[in-house]
Every structure is written in C-alpha cells, then in structure tokens.
Amino acid sequence: MTHGKVTLVGAGPGDPELLTLKALKAIQRATVLLVDDLVSDEIVAFAAPGARIVYVGKRGGCKSTPQAFIEKLMLMAAREGEDVVRLKGGDPFIFGRGGEEVEHLREAGIAVDVVNGITSGLAAVTSLGVPLTHREHAHGVVFVTGHAKPGDSGTDWKALAATAHSARLTLVIYMGVSGAERIQDELLSGLPAATPVAVIQSASLPTQRHITTTLGELASAIREAGMASPSVIVVGDVISGVALAAAHPDAVRAA
C-alpha cells in the first residue's frame, strides 16, 4: 500500500506576504489541509480549488480540537494516499507542537517534512523597528512560553530573570498575557522594574496594535490597554529603541 505524505508548514504570523516560497508551494500542492486557528483566510485561499480544508483550531482559553484527534486525522489522510499539509501559525517547531506531531507520524511509518515559518516573536519586534539582539543591548534571545500544560509547573521565571540580567538577553514570551501578573512578579526578582517591555497583539496583521511599558507596570498596562491573545510580550533593553524608531518612521520599516 502506498502512503501519502505529511508536511508541517509554518504559515508565519499572519501576513500572507511573509510566507516562504516553499510554504506557498506546499499549500498549493496539498490535497488535504489541516488548518490552525491563527492562520489567516488569505493564506488558506492559496490552496488548490479541489483541496479538502479542515479547520483544527487550538487556542489557549478556548474550545480546541484535541491534539490526539489532529494526529489521527493526519494519519488517516496520509494512509489514504493524500498529500497532507498541517498548516500552523508561525513556525511549526516554535510552540506549535510540531515536534510531537513529527514523532507520532514517523513512529507510524509516515513520511513527514517540515517547512519553517516566520515566528510571531520575530515579526512582532521587527514591526516596531527594533531588533531582538543588539551588540550594545542584548547578546542573545530566549523564546519562552507563558502557558504550561496541565500538571507542569511551567517556566522558572526567577531563574530565567537572573540569567537574562547577567547574560543580557531579550525575553520573548508567547501566550503570556493571561499570566502576566505572575510573570511580572517573578521576573522582578532578577530584572529591574525599569526594564523596557513591549506587548504586541496580532503581529503583522492589519489589526496589529502594541503598547510599551516597563516590567514594573506590565500587568497594569495590559489591563488598561485591553491587550488580549494572540500577543507576544518582549522584555529587554532593545525595546528602548521603539521610541527612536517611532520618531524616525522612514528610517527603519518592516517590509
């Protein structure tokens, strides 16, 4: 029996122009697409007219399609000889459960490829005209989730704060808005209250908006601005450049 194949495709942060060419070709070639909740309609529209599109949304705090069911759908379609694309927001291997899915598929004997996508943490800060790393302000960057799975204690924010302070790291926190108060309190154990912070909602989309604040005011600033998911929280001295970028909007501009 000849099986089909599965490709995990990163759709990027939402703007269809940020798709890679390889991602576009995979979407156009697919006979079945399993689409995440955060993938824009403009990207799904690249699918072939006869492709079967199945929405398998997964959003924190919302009713979600069980992961086991998604994996079952991928296996069934591949075993029927379909060219399956699992279309994910951002990058499949950055908080997209891509690693779990690849392991499950390979154990079942299904061929699987991965196409990277621009992750929202990168697109978010780029849209503000500032970098994630800078020779004077940040020697590295840490991508971390603010949302732990049930039964998991999650990120050790105090240890991370101490490391970020001593190593001069930018922290990019995904899925952290709902837990912002706890994250703020624990990061303050190792980072100054005056540390610059940006919160970017719906990065790269027409609905994008952001706030800049300090670590000491993070939770209250989120509440006052009504920031909601999907948002990225960026903590570090690189954010001090947002005001400069805003003062010179034509000097640096995200494509």
Residues marked active site are found at 36, 58, 175
Question: Three-state DSSP class for 156?
Answer: coil
Tell me the C-alpha distance between 228 and 232, whole Å.
10
Amino acid in the structure at residue 169? L
Tell me the C-alpha distance between 75 and 69, whole Å.
10
Angle subtended at Cα 135 by Cα 134 and Cα 139, rounded to the nearest 5 degrees:
75
Strand order in the sheet with 111-115: 52-55, 32-35, 83-88, 5-10, 111-115
Helix (H) or strand (E) run with residue 114 in it = strand 111-115
- Per the CB < 8 A criterion, the answer to whether 233 and 170 are in contact is no
Pairing status of strand 32-35 against strand 83-88: parallel
